[in-house]
Amino acid sequence: MDILSEPTIVRDIGELDPKKYGVIVEGRFGRGLLLPDLKGVDTVEEQISIARRKGGISPDEDVKIYKFTVERYH
């Protein structure tokens, strides 16, 4: 089971770390979420790009980005 923290707005992508934080990318009509520490996702840019695709958000659309942490219980 995974428990997600309350998302907080990202003011600068320098705050992000794909190993530590998950992201929520919110556009005008879509929202995409990507958990942290996923195999093959090594950069912030990859993480945001995948979340955009999941939310149906085009690469050039203005978005709000939120970050969150995950506690995993097995």
pLDDT tens digits, 6-44 = 999 999 999 999 999 999 999 999 999 999 999 999 999
State the pTM of this model: 0.93
Domain assignment of residue 49, given as a range: 2-72
**Cβ of 20: how many Cβ atoms within 10 Å?**
11
CATH number, domain of 59, equals: 3.30.1490.150
Number of domains in the chain: 1
**CA distance linking residue 18 with residue 25, whole number of Å:** 14
